[in-house]
Each structure stands twice: as C-alpha cells, then as structure tokens.
Amino acid sequence: MRKINIFDTTLRDGEQSAGVNLNLHEKLEIARQLERLGVDIIEAGFPAASKGDFQAVQAIAQTVRNCSVTGLSRSVQSDIDAAWEALKDGAEPRLHVFIATSPIHMQYKLRMTPEQVIETAVESVRYAKKYFPIVQWSAEDACRSDLPFLATIIEKVIEAGANVINIPDTVGYITPKQYGDIFSFLKKNVRNIEKISLSAHCHDDLGMAVANSLAAIEAGATQIEGTINGIGERAGNAAIEEVAVALYIRKDYYQAETRLNLQEIKRTSNLVSKLTGMIVPPNKAIVGKNAFAHESGIHQDGVLKEKTTYEIISPQLVGVQSNSMVLGKHSGRHAFRTRIQELGYSLTEEEVNRLFVRFKDLADKKKDITDDDLIALILDERLDTYKNFYQLCSIQVQYGTNQIPTAVVVLKDGEGNDVQEAATGAGSVEALYNALEKALQLPVTLLDYRIESVGSGRDALAQVYVKVSLDGKEASGRGTAQDVLEASAKAYIHAVNRMFVIEKMREEQALAAQ
C-alpha cells in the first residue's frame, strides 16, 4: 500500500469561495478539527496577503502539533519572509511557493519570458530553503503548459532544493487520462524526479476534480490537495472526503491509503459547512444527508436483507451515527463535560460552566439534546468574538394573517447603550430586519437568507445564514436558536459585526502601509 499525503487547503483555497470570510477563531476551530481528522498538511492561508491572514497562519502554526502547517507564497522574497515569520514556530514549517508556467499566464499575467520564469522560480526556491526544511513548488496552470518546458523548470527547481512538486489543474480544464499522462511524462522526462514527491491539485469546473486526483494517484502522485466538502474558488476543489473514501473502499484497485481518521469526516464536513455558511447538497457523495438514504422499494428490500446489496459505504465509516448519546434536563455536569470531551473539544472550566447554563436552559425547552445541539452550543460560545460590538438583547414580533407584521428590537451598542426600534414589513423576517436596520442606522442590504434545522423534530434548533452588503462591502453571518426569528436576528447582527471587524482590520492595514 502506497501512503498518500493529504494536503488540505480549506483555509486557503476553500476560503476563496464567494461569500466566505472566516475570522481567526473560526479558522483555528477548523484547523483543530483537521488535525483530529488526521490530514498531513494544513495550508492555513497566504501570510503576505493581509495582516489577518498572517495572524491566522501564525496562530494555527503555533497551535497545531500533529500535522505540518504551510502558507502560500508568490515567488517574491517579501512573501517568503512573511511566510517564515508566520510559520517558524510550527511543528514542521513548510512553504508553498508558486509561479505560472503556461504560455497564456507568462505572456499576459507575468509579462515574463520562459527563461525569466525559470530564473525567478529557481531563485525563490533557493531563497526559501535558507529557512524552510520543506519547500513545495507549484507550476500554476500546469495543465495548459508546454510539457517539455514544464519538465525543464521542474528539474531546475528540484536542483534548487524543492521537496514537493505540485501540478495544479488551476482552471479545472483537464480530463483524467490527460492529467495522468502529465504525471507519467514528468516521471519519464525529469531526471531527478525520484528525489521529490509529486502532488495533485484539481479544480472542479468541469466536475472532474476527484476523478483527476485519483488518476494522478494511479500515475504516481503521492500527495493530493483539496478541501472539505469540495469548497473553493468558482466550482471548488477536489473534495478530500471523496478521495479518501474512494481510496479506502477501492484499495483493491488503487493500492493506496491515507492516514485520515475516516470517522471524523462527517463532523469535519458539518463544521466547515456551519462556519462557511456553504450548505452541503443533500445528494453530495459521502457527506450529503441523502448519501445513505434509500427510497426505492427494490433498494429498501435489498438493504434490509443485506446492506451490501446497495450500500458500498457504511454510515459509521464516515462518522454518521444512528445511536449517538442523548442528554436531557436531568443530565448532570459530569455527563455534560464527558460528552464534550468525547466529541473532541477541550474547554476551560469557565467555558464548561457557561455552556452548562446554556445547556440547561435549552434542555428546559427541548426534550433531548443531541450531539449536533451540543456542537452548535459549543461553536456559539467559542466563536462569539464580537462582544465589543452590537449585541441582541431582545426581540418581539407580532404576526397574524390579517395583521401587518410588526417587530420591536432592543440592541446594546459597543458602548453599552440600549437601542430600541420598531418596524413593519410584508412578513415577520422583513419586519425584524427593518427594525434592526433602523436600530443600527445603517443602509444594510440583505443579499441572501437561508435556514436549516440542527437535527430533526419540531423542537429542533434553527440555524440561519445570511449575507449582507454595506457600502459595497459584503459579509456573511449565522445565528442559532430554537426560535427561527431569534436565529434570524442573531445571524443579521453577526454579519454586521463581522463587517465592522473586517473594516477595522482594513483601516489598520492601511495605516501600517503608510
């Protein structure tokens, strides 16, 4: 069995998804879960891109100890210096440095000759090796590059000290056979190729990212790059969970394996979906809610007689449990703390005490508290980082089929002052959001509103995701509560507060640049 390294770029390429903007605490939460999942490398961000990215990469490198943390860098010394400062305290700091190699990119984007691109690539790798024990070099748009030129530049950067060579399908253009052929060509035509590990990075514009990644493994790649749930720019990246489970289920064919703890897949998928606001489609392979559902009578009959007739993957393999422990209002602090630890969360005694109060309050309203409910409570507590901005104190909504919906909201601003406003609307949510807009005194535009339940049953928690814009800037927010309208209000306030934080960071960056 060949060992395939998993390079997770959820926090870098995944965060480039339209409408996704994770803060430091959210990135740390995802990084901790990726560590529990067992990925080999976490690409935590692009340190030179912004102060926020630098701080996030640095914090993740200092926190994660059981896998390598890397950052992206252009072939520029200042980028490499920023990456080293952010990553130097990591357990195994590594750099991911790239430059474009396709004719169209070299001519129109870089405005460099092929010889200049080779020289720049070699210099950047050689410079990076002064600091980083492991340097990964990527040929951006490799799949539209001239193959003899690609072989030449790869040979040169290996001589300069590169440890991993990444062949990205940057625009999601290539087919599985063509992609495998590129790896085979390089293995035959790069004389020092045996010194390095070959990596595959695929985008899903034509829906072939996972198929291309598996084709690369067949052709000799020993590292696969992708994201949880396949999120990413445009149509996204290869879905890590799909590649890993395909290798496990079809190990007879691929003769390759990863070190992922597959039972953590569903929990990781849920966390990324919650924090990014990107809902997993029900029919999504491996992690969609319909992935293990059977409606056809013939299928149901077969599964009841013998599961393997129609079920090639057991739900338990990826962490979908049908008998998860349920807590209730009579559960004590010890059982509560134990279950949190079993879910993989390390909380301080102060955090446990605060959460236990919220748990008891929820248990008074909801008969059974599931793992999903607990995780929602934990995330709300740990990721509530906007206490210095607007806080929701109370809402009151009046609605009737023959009445005009009316909402009254009370907020506390950043200085501790109460702000109260009322408004009407065509529906309850519109009335609520009109009242919030008046209270904030900001021309906020609602771009997207989505709601889903946490668990099932009429007493399930509601989770609302919104996207708003203000002065041409966008931010997303989420809110969880047993009441749909309360969750809606929390999501709106969360999005506005995030916008203030983002704007504050931009102002700080502008001042630092002066």
The Cα–Cα gap between 186 and 340 comes to: 48
Beta strands across the sheet bearing 461-470: 445-454, 461-470, 473-481
The residues facing 418 across adjacent strands are 412
Strands 473-481 and 461-470 come out as antiparallel
Residues 233 and 203: beta-carbon distance below 8 Å: yes
Beta strands across the sheet bearing 391-398: 391-398, 406-412, 418-424
Query: Which two tokens mark 78?
Result: 């200042």
Query: Which two tokens mark 206?
Result: 């034509």
The Cα–Cα gap between 40 and 142 comes to: 23
Spatial CB neighbours of 214, under 8 Å, sequence gap ≥ 6: 176, 243, 246, 247, 254
330 labelled binding-site residue: no
Residues 484 and 425: beta-carbon distance below 8 Å: no
* 511 C-beta neighbours (distance < 10 Å), count: 8
Among 179, 168, 237, smallest CA distance to 212 is for 179
| Residue 182 identity (one-letter amino acid) | I
Q: How many CA atoms lie within 13 A of 495 on its CB side?
A: 33
The Cα–Cα gap between 452 and 376 comes to: 13
Tokens 């990596």, residue located: 199
Query: Which two tokens mark 357?
Result: 């109060």
Among 221, 226, 248, smallest CA distance to 237 is for 226
Chain centre to alpha carbon of residue 372: 18
Residues 412 and 419: beta-carbon distance below 8 Å: yes
The 8-class DSSP code of residue 327 comes to B
Spatial CB neighbours of 94, under 8 Å, sequence gap ≥ 6: 41, 68, 69, 70, 87, 132, 133, 134, 135, 136, 163
89 labelled binding-site residue: no
At 96, phi and psi to the nearest 5?
-115, 105
Binding residues, as ranges, are 13, 201, 203, 237
Known binding-site residue numbers for Mn(2+): 13, 201, 203, 237
